[in-house]
């Protein structure tokens, strides 16, 4: 088994030359993983989570601590107590991975190893087929996931549960069974106990075929996801209906899926279908209620996600040598140097500054001075085809005399244009 795990690591080009945080529950799977990686010579950290849901949890934590001492490796534990808010499985999953990443930071590594095996993969694929998902979800469990900082590897993904138990037995490794795994309260358990054994009777290499199926789906997904990332980067996390309509349907669906993921919004096939229907609808501007207080807004030819309630902000002041955040979405400051990133800015004359400046959202009757008079801010938004929901959160900058000098990234006043010959300072606004 060590040879197969070593091959997995070499073939995956994981370049593991540092410590590995091993997610170790105390079950046969995670203990087999820990011993295999340890025997291969990797520096392992035993990371254990005590969910405090069973009487045996205290015994398991103590045994894992003793095991770490026996193997002469570091031991880290998360004492997790569910607060009763939300779904236990979802909340504990988030807490576990947050903990594993914190352990990574403590030991200066970015590798997390989990003990998911081929039976887990089969179960997850079946659950996704029953519940509905996207291309990524139907793949089940990815053998390696990189989030830009941390690599989560599953070196046992090609092994069956039976093989891992046999490994523990042959090597006299004491493991614990979670009694809840033998109950039929959850869909995963019902599939494990009643459906998968029948499938394995029909297909003796079901695990290998499930892994092949998973890999094919992830290869296809990775290709489409790169295109989706490029699209949303180019369109500032909005969908431009004019060019979106010409895209392939697979790419359309994944762009929607990625947009929802960016806001951590729960999604399923029905949500994605509803959004596709909204985009096709030519009847005018519309909204769709999403989870967690968000809405999907279609205004003109733009589709975006915003908070359901209007963001109300206090008026903030900005002086020289200050850095201020606005509505938790923007950062403003003065600088003598032009920004080198993609920040927006206006050029100003230091001697003509009327400070402090003020930053707020639009108000009824707002106007800005232009070359031939004034223009209503509401008209600026209409002319620029800014979605209604975006208008309510766009920063408006005023000078000390309450004159609007800049509507962020849209228009600046004639007074600012007149300063251009003597500009020696910049007001910079960055999206956080």
Convert the pLDDT of each residue in 80-97 to its tens digit.
Answer: 988 877 778 888 888 999
Measure the CA–CA gap between 248 and 255, rounded to whole angstroms.
11
Mean per-residue pLDDT for 43-67?
A: 93
CATH 3.40.50.620 residue window(s) in the chain: 2-214
SS3 state of residue 45: strand
The CA–CA distances, whole Å, from 81 to 48, 52, 61, 62, 263 equal: 14, 6, 14, 17, 26
Residue 260 has pLDDT above 50, yes or no: yes
Mean pLDDT of 266-286: 84
Structure confidence at residue 341 (pLDDT): 80
CB distance 31 to 173 below 8 Å? yes
Q: How far apart are the first and last CA of the chain?
A: 47
Beta-strand ranges (E) seen in 315-424 are 316-318, 323-326, 330-335, 344-348, 357-360, 367-370, 373-376, 396-398, 404-407, 411-412
pLDDT of residue 377: 93
Instruction: Quote the pLDDT of residue 284.
Output: 66
Task: Quickly state the pLDDT bin for 311 (edges 50, 70, 90).
Answer: very low
Check whether 308 has a pLDDT greater than 60.
Answer: yes
Architecture (CATH level 2) of domain 235-307: 2-Layer Sandwich (3.30)
User: What is the model's pTM?
Assistant: 0.67
Q: What is the dihedral of CA 350, 352, 354, 355, to 10 degrees?
A: 10
Angle at 377 between CA 375 and CA 381, to 5 degrees: 115
Tell me where in the chain the CATH 3.30.465.60 domain(s) lie: 235-307
Is a pLDDT exceeding 90 seen at residue 285?
A: no
Cα(342)–Cα(329) distance, integer angstroms: 15
For residue 323, CA distances in Å to 207, 281, 319, 344 come to: 56, 43, 8, 15
Whether domain 2-214 has CATH 2.40.320.10: the reply is: no
């Amino acid at each position: 088994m060590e040879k197969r795990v070593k091959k997995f690591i070499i073939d995956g080009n994981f370049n593991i030359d540092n410590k590995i945080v091993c997610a170790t529950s105390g079950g046969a799977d995670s203990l087999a993983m820990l011993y295999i990686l340890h025997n291969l010579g990797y520096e392992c950290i035993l990371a254990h989570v005590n969910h405090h849901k069973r009487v045996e949890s205290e015994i398991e934590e103590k045994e894992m601590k003793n095991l770490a001492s026996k193997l002469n490796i570091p031991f880290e534990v998360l004492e997790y107590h569910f607060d009763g808010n939300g779904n236990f499985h979802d909340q504990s999953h988030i807490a576990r991975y947050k903990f594993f990443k914190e352990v990574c930071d403590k030991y200066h590594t970015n590798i997390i190893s989990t003990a998911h095996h081929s039976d887990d993969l089969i179960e997850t694929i079946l659950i996704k087929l029953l519940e509905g998902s996207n291309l990524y979800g139907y793949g089940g469990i990815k053998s390696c996931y990189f989030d830009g900082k941390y690599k989560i590897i599953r070196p046992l993904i090609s092994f069956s549960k039976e093989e891992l138990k046999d490994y523990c037995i042959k090597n006299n490794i004491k493991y614990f069974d979670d009694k809840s795994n033998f109950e039929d309260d959850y869909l995963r358990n019902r599939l494990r106990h009643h459906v998968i054994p029948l499938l394995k009777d029909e297909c003796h290499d079901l695990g290998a075929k499930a892994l092949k199926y998973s890999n094919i789906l992830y290869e296809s997904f990775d290709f489409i996801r790169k295109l989706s990332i490029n699209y949303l980067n180019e369109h500032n996390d909005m969908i431009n209906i004019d060019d979106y309509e010409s895209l392939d349907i697979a790419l359309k669906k994944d762009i929607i899926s990625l947009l929802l993921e960016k806001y951590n919004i729960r999604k399923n096939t029905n949500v994605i279908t509803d959004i596709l229907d909204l985009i096709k609808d030519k009847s005018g501007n519309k909204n769709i209620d999403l989870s967690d207080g968000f809405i999907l807004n279609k205004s003109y030819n733009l589709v975006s996600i915003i908070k359901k309630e209007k963001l109300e902000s206090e008026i903030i002041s900005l002086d020289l040598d200050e850095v201020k955040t606005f509505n938790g979405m923007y950062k403003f400051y003065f600088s003598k140097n032009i920004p080198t990133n993609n920040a927006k800015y206006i050029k100003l004359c230091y001697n003509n500054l009327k400070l402090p400046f003020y930053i707020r959202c639009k108000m009824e009757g707002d106007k800005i001075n232009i070359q031939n008079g004034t223009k209503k801010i509401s008209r600026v938004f209409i002319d620029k085809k800014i979605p209604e929901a975006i208008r309510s959160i766009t920063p408006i900058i005023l000078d000390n005399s309450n004159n609007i000098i800049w509507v962020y990234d849209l228009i600046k006043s004639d007074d600012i244009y007149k300063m251009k010959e003597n500009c020696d300072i910049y007001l910079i606004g960055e999206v956080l």
